[in-house]
């Protein structure tokens, strides 16, 4: 039989054990919670990295006729849009400064950019990507290997690799004229190549499309603001 002191000691010991177990369970919970948060962070770092402006820096890309294209437009320098349907931002040829694809802009630079090709330090594409060459854009218009169609529901063009079935969507974001005026949003798409024209230093080649027509041989003044869809380096 336990005397009164032994009984009290037994009760105190039981309380201490229960308290210890609660502490262990509590810290175990905290440990599991911390591990769970760490897992979510690590998993998100392996996918698209999104910031407060809904831009991403990681893009798996898609191969169309042998060229790996980003699935989204370039947004702010070093980032892509979060979705293929998003316009992103406009760029003047061989310049890294981004211009909004909506509304009016101020302090537009009307001077003509120089250079024989789009230089790497001026490329706004995220790491591992670059502005496509004219030859790479031309691969999208090889009708034996690629077909395209206007997608009215999304206001843009979709290219499909005939052999693999891979698709690439580009929104008709419009463009900014050489004075910064915004034109034809939702009706027309203009995407820079890194290739300058052979005749003079005022222009560069771009890809053009609307609901009725698409081709690679458009030429724009270099101080116009166009979209960029990057290719893998």
Residue 141 CB-density burial (10 A; 0-12 exposed, 13-18 middle, 19+ buried) = middle
Q: Max alpha carbon distance in the chain (Å)? A: 109
SS3 8: helix
The CA distance from 90 to 13, in Å, is 72
What is the distance between the alpha carbons of residues 81 and 58, in angstroms, rounded to a whole number? Answer: 10
Q: How far is CA 136 from CA 75, 183, 194, 228, 232, in A?
A: 21, 26, 10, 13, 11
pLDDT at 39 (0 to 100): 36
What are 150's strand-pairing partners?
157
Burial 173-190 (b: 16+ CB within 10 A, else e): bbbbebebebeebeebbb
Are 227 and 87 in contact by the 8 Å Cβ rule? The answer is: yes
Task: Please tell me whether the overall predicted TM-score, pTM, comes out greater than 0.75 for this model.
Answer: yes
Which tokens is 110 given?
């009307």
Ordered mean pLDDT values, 10 residues apiece, the chain (233 residues): 46 42 41 38 34 74 98 98 98 98 97 97 98 98 98 98 98 98 98 96 97 95 98 97
């Amino acid at each position: 039989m336990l005397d009164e002191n032994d009984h009290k000691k037994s009760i105190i010991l039981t309380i201490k054990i229960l308290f210890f177990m609660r502490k262990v369970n509590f810290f175990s919970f905290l440990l599991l919670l911390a591990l769970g948060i760490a897992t979510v962070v690590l998993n998100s770092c392996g996918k698209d990295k999104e910031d407060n402006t809904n831009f991403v820096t990681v893009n798996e890309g898609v191969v169309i006729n042998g060229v790996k294209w980003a699935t989204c437009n370039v947004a702010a320098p070093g980032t892509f849009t979060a979705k293929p349907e998003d316009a992103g931002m406009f760029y003047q040829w061989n310049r890294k400064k981004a211009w909004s694809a909506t509304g009016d802009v101020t302090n537009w630079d009307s001077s003509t950019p120089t250079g024989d090709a789009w230089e790497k330090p001026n490329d706004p594409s995220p790491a591992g990507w670059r502005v496509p060459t004219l030859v790479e854009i031309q691969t999208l218009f090889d009708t034996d290997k690629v077909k395209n169609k206007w997608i009215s529901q999304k206001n843009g063009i979709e290219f499909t690799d005939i052999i693999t079935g891979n698709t690439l969507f580009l929104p008709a974001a419009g463009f900014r004229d050489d004075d910064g005026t915004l034109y034809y949003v939702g009706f027309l798409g203009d995407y820079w190549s890194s290739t300058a024209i052979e005749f003079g230093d005022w222009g560069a080649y771009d890809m053009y499309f609307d609901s009725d027509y698409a081709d690679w041989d458009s030429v724009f003044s270099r101080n116009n603001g166009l979209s960029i869809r990057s290719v893998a380096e």
